[in-house]
Amino acid sequence: MPTKRSSWRWGLGASFGIGAMMAVVGFWFEPRSLVVSEFEVITSGWPQDTAPLRVAVLSDIHVDAVHMPPERVRRIAEQVRALRPDVILLAGDYVGGYGLEAGLPGAARSRRSTQDNDLHEDGLRALDDLNAPLGVYAVMGNHDCWWDCRRVREILADTRIHVLENQAARVVRPGGNVWIAGIEDGQTQRPDFQTATKTVPQGAASIALVHNPELFDWESNGLPLQISGHSHAGQVRFPLIGAPVRVTRHTEDTVDGWTSAGERLLIVTRGLGESGLPVRFGAPPQIMLLTIKPGRHSMVKPVATYAPETRR
């Protein structure tokens, strides 16, 4: 019959083993995993004769040497192309790094080694492997501007990616045009919905592409659909308690990928990389694949979740 001492030792050993297993999963396996999450997005804010639009959403790539080197960015780009989206949206935070370098725009780049900066630049160039028939559109994230907004713009200008900063792009297609309004980041830039949408016709099919989901709550944001990243779904999540760290007030209500306010919809991807520690637990990296179409009432319907290699 076990003694109290042996039971205590067994419990301690089991706790250590579980903790070690969680650490291995969180610091190695899960950050290197990837899922595709398909959703059907129905919005009452689009004209009823608008044809469905197939959209791939990527965010928070956070290029680094640990889990997201440029080679992995290129592999993800290949997997996204295989999904055959009409358009690809990039919701910011392409640059990674784990130092406490937040502050003025450009501060992080000036403090990092030439080797680290070269890695970030190679990762940004790797985004040129993304391609879709109706284009690839991007906004800046807070980490991009903490690193160097100007340099990110310069590099992406040599790719096929269209960076939108308080601007709207018209996506021309036979099934009805769609406007993508790219909004500047709320922490490091100056978001301006009025400027971004001044060329968008009243009642047109439109999407707000915004890094931080908190801008969904801005009074000046009247767009029917917003697509964001930034929250990582907390990056580390535990049963019952959810995420111990919540970088936005929408971390928990968008853990399944969306929330709503009346007929307006907010879609938030978990993103691909990590911020802070190179760890993910209970919030695996995600490519979102959305089929957006009009309807009488706005809603989001999960369709499927799978590894990108298993579907074509």
pLDDT of residue 137: 98
pLDDT of residue 42: 98
Residues 176 and 49: beta-carbon distance below 8 Å:
yes
Alpha-carbon torsion (202, 190, 243, 99), positive or negative: positive
pLDDT of residue 105: 63
d(C-alpha 273, C-alpha 232), whole Å: 8
Which of these, 213, 39, 196, lies nearest to 142 by C-alpha position? 213
pLDDT of residue 309: 77
pLDDT of residue 6: 56
Give tens-digit pLDDT for 137-194: 999 999 999 999 999 999 999 999 999 999 999 999 999 999 999 999 999 999 999 9
DSSP H or E stretch at residue 107: helix 107-111
Q: Is 4's pLDDT higher than 70?
A: no
Q: Is 224's pLDDT higher than 70?
A: yes
Query: Would you tell me how many other CB atoms lie within 10 Å of the CB of residue 15?
Result: 10
Q: By mean pLDDT, which of 26-30, 112-116, 259-263 is the weakest?
A: 26-30
Q: How far is CA 86 from CA 23, 40, 55, 155, 238, in A?
A: 38, 14, 6, 24, 35
Bridge partners, 207 (sequence order): 180
Instruction: Please state the rounded mean pLDDT for residues 284-297.
Output: 98
Banded model confidence at residue 100, pLDDT cuts 50, 70, 90 = very low
pTM confidence score:
0.92
Q: Is 131 exposed, middle or buried (0-12, 13-18, 19+ CB in 10 A)?
A: middle
Banded model confidence at residue 99, pLDDT cuts 50, 70, 90 = very low
pLDDT of residue 101: 53
Q: Where are the domains of the chain?
A: 1-32, 34-307
Q: Is 312's pLDDT higher than 50?
A: no
Q: Is 14's pLDDT higher than 70?
A: no
Q: Could you tell me which CATH class the domain 34-307 is placed in?
A: alpha beta
Q: What is the DSSP string of 68-88?
A: --HHHHHHHHHHHHHT--SEE
More confident residue, 310 or 211: 211
39, HSE (Cβ side, Cα atoms, 13 Å): 27
Q: How far is CA 169 from CA 38, 78, 172, 271, in A?
A: 24, 25, 9, 23
pLDDT of residue 171: 98
d(C-alpha 36, C-alpha 24), whole Å: 23
